[in-house]
Amino acid sequence: MASHRRPKQPSRARVTVLTTAAAAAVALSANAANAAPSEKLSKDEVKAKVDKLYEEAEKATEEYDGAKEKQGKLQKEISTVQDNVARGQEELNKLREGLGSLATAQYRSGGIDPSVQLFLSSNPDDFLDKASTLDQLSSQQVEALKKIQDKQRELAQERDEATDKLKDLAATRTELGNKKKEVQGKLAEAQKLLNTLTAKEKAELAAKQQRADRSSSERVNLGDAPPASGRAAAAFSAAQSKIGSPYVYGASGPSSFDCSGLTSWAYAQAGVSIPRTSQAQANIGTRISSASDLQVGDLVFFFNDLHHVGLYAGNGQILHAPRTGTVVRYESMDTIGGPFMFGVRV
């Protein structure tokens, strides 16, 4: 006789586990079905993405250069303030030694009078408040005490200044480290994309870049535009001597350069000191709004945030350090990748 017992039902906990597992399996299956297999980017697509990353790296490089320049200035300023504090402390010690000699002389002659006791107080301000009631203070003593007061105030201000600058230096060093990581991250990302190319594709891109570097250096018609000035001519000549030198972020010569590193180095060879970064260089000299008014040696700025700068070479060409993977070379202003904003005549 067949058994009519009801089959045993699974426990509620087991049902929950099975239901969750089934739902997860369905979700995974759906995602797998919807996710298209990753397609390999073409050589041109990789190049476009890499060029964009290099542009972003150059922008971060200018910010890195700015932080580096600020760090150097702060270190010099801190050193100067600390030297001033040290000299001021020596002067203060000598003033106090003079008061100590006065106290010693009075002690030997019969004791230190109240005025001198207050004179040696650790709080000269408190002394002056009380000293107004002491007739025995001489004008010479009052003058000496005021010198101590002035020196103490001066030292306090200089110490506060040094403290503020040290805090600013610490913040600048942090910023410098962050910008360096940002640049390195962009370059690493670009290299990762390049690594997805085949050996043949890499060779083709490298050959194309080499042809661009050679052609821009060997067969460029610069026309006959005059230099903006004698020093502009000297700066341009110095930059010409570096054609073929590699772009390296943060570099300012003499063997490698970033964009503003080249322009600041070139003008330094002409005996002219200009700021280190492109944004700071944009705020010097005389602004030239129209490209048709540019002369050889003028600084030329590109992109809305002014993160790229070069030297005008004539005939619509500039001499510059373009970006990672390139060398110092001539290039048409129309192929920079960003709009011409204005020029600056130094």
Active site residues: 259, 308, 320
Element (H, E) at 308: strand 308-314
Cβ neighbours of residue 53 under 8 Å, at least 6 residues apart? 186, 187, 189, 190, 193
If you ran DSSP here, which 8-state letter would residue 343 be given?
Answer: E
Q: Rounded distance, CA 55 to CA 43, Å? A: 18
In three-state form (DSSP H/G/I as H, E/B as E, the rest C), the secondary structure along 259-303 is HHHHHHHHHHHCCCCCCCCHHHHCCCCEEECCHHHCCECCEEEEC
Q: Which residues of 267-296 are buried (b: 16+ CB within 10 A; e: fewer)?
A: bebbebebbbbbbbbbeebeebeeeeebbb
Check if the beta carbon of residue 243 is closer than 8 Å to that of residue 329.
yes
Q: Which residues of 88-103 are buried (b: 16+ CB within 10 A; e: fewer)?
A: beeebeebeeebeebb
